[in-house]
Amino acid sequence: MSNFLKKAMGLFVEFEPDDNNNARAAEQHHALSQKFPLSNPSGNSYQPVQSGPPNLSEAELDKFEQHFSALFEKSNLPGPDYYEFWKMMETLEAHVKDENARMAAVYATLSIQGLTKNRLIESAAQYKQIIEQDKAEFEKAASSKAATEVDGRNQQLEDLSKKMADNAALIQQLTKEIAEAQTLTEQLKGQIAEQEAKIHANTQGYQVACEAMLRKINTDIQKINTSL
């Protein structure tokens, strides 16, 4: 399932290429867009997002790919299903370029093991539910981290501001203390901005990756319905 997340994200997110590989990255992105079009349930192609998702670095991409790989491995349902179908499709891609032919070959192979079209579609829907549950858990964890990393620092910032206001009348005696509090205030502001940026970037990155996974499954279900 190497690079499966980048393929799933295909049209609607940009990746950060290496400095010397801009042209190659653009060419690969175009190839992915052609190979993995995302379609909505009505059959119309999704348009690329112009200004929404952030760019994902290779490190971020690897992180979320490993996350979803582990999630699917942990949640793998008994017997042949959409997960085995998907993995075999990935494995055969280098040898069978035509997707319809590859899909038919994979289905024929897995049908010997008991896979049916209904089971394939039903299990795909189950994996969608697994991703939705994972998304809810991620958002809960992100909210908790925001409360831990940001709210506490905001309270410290408020306390320091009040302390500086109270000490203003005693400026001659408290000059040193005020200066130290001002320094700490700036440090806290920087820490708050840094933590908020990290949490925001991580949340956006996850949401982009999650939407890509869900859209890929929807696309695969449509292709299964029309091709098998």
Q: Count CA atoms closer than 13 A to 179's CA, side-chain side.
A: 5
In terms of Cα–Cα distance, which of 123, 35, 13 is closest to 78? 123
How far from chain centre, in Å, is Cα 199?
13
Instruction: Give, for all 228 residues of the chain, the pLDDT tens digit.
Output: 446 666 665 544 444 544 554 454 455 444 444 443 433 434 443 344 444 556 777 788 888 888 888 888 888 888 898 888 988 888 898 898 999 999 999 999 999 999 999 999 998 999 899 889 989 998 998 888 887 888 778 888 899 998 888 877 777 877 887 788 889 999 999 999 999 999 898 989 899 899 998 999 999 899 989 988
Q: Six-digit token pair at 151? A: 């709210």
Q: pTM value? A: 0.50
* Cα–Cα distance for residue pair 110/51, rounded to 1 Å: 41
CB 163 within 8 A of CB 16: no
β-sheet bridge partners, residue 99: none
Residue 6 has a pLDDT of 61
What amino acid is encoded at 120 in this protein? L
DSSP string, 125-147: HHHHHHHHHHHHHHHHHHHHHHI
**C-alpha to C-alpha distance for 50 and 172, rounded to whole angstroms:** 56
Residue 10's pLDDT is: 54
Tokens of residue 94, six digits: 């280098």
Phi, psi of 39 (to 5 degrees): -120, 145
Q: At what angle do helices 58-75 and 117-146 cross, to 10 degrees?
A: 120
